[in-house]
Amino acid sequence: MSAHLQWMVVHNCPGFLIKRNKLTYSTKPNNLKARNSLRYNGLIRCKTVGEAPAANGKRTPAASYVRTIMNKNARAELSSIRHVICKNKYRPDLKASAILRSQKPVMVKRTWTRPTKSF
């Protein structure tokens, strides 16, 4: 199926869309800019670049794309991302977005504890 036909099917999928401030954002995997556009869509393009924090879980299913897990400091990860994208001839237009996304701090969810009842 062509990419344009896939885009016509997927572009209004409400499961991934967030509409805020008169703009439409997307939460699709491998979408670095979080824009709802054909150019940055991670489901349609054949070569995509995604950024996610490394999980310690080992049970991940086999996929049709290659994942490179980088557990390095910020400076080493910056050069690694640059080399992976340039040497493997991935899309150079996503290089800056991938580098900026890797430098963002990871937000940790706080667990809410219920206060104990006193009897």
Q: Tally Cβ neighbours within 10 Å of residue 11.
A: 16
Q: What pLDDT does residue 63 have?
A: 57
Domains delineated in the chain: 1-46 (3.30.390.110), 62-104 (no CATH)
Q: What pLDDT does residue 96 have?
A: 76
Q: What is the mean pLDDT of residues 29-56?
A: 74
Q: Tally Cβ neighbours within 10 Å of residue 20.
A: 7
Q: What pLDDT does residue 64 have?
A: 56
pLDDT tens per residue, range 48-88: 777 666 666 555 555 555 667 777 787 888 888 888 877 87
Amino acid at 86: C
DSSP 17-70: EEEETTEEEE--TT-SS-B-STTT-TTT-SS-----PPP--------SS-----
| pTM, two decimal places | 0.43
SS3 8: helix
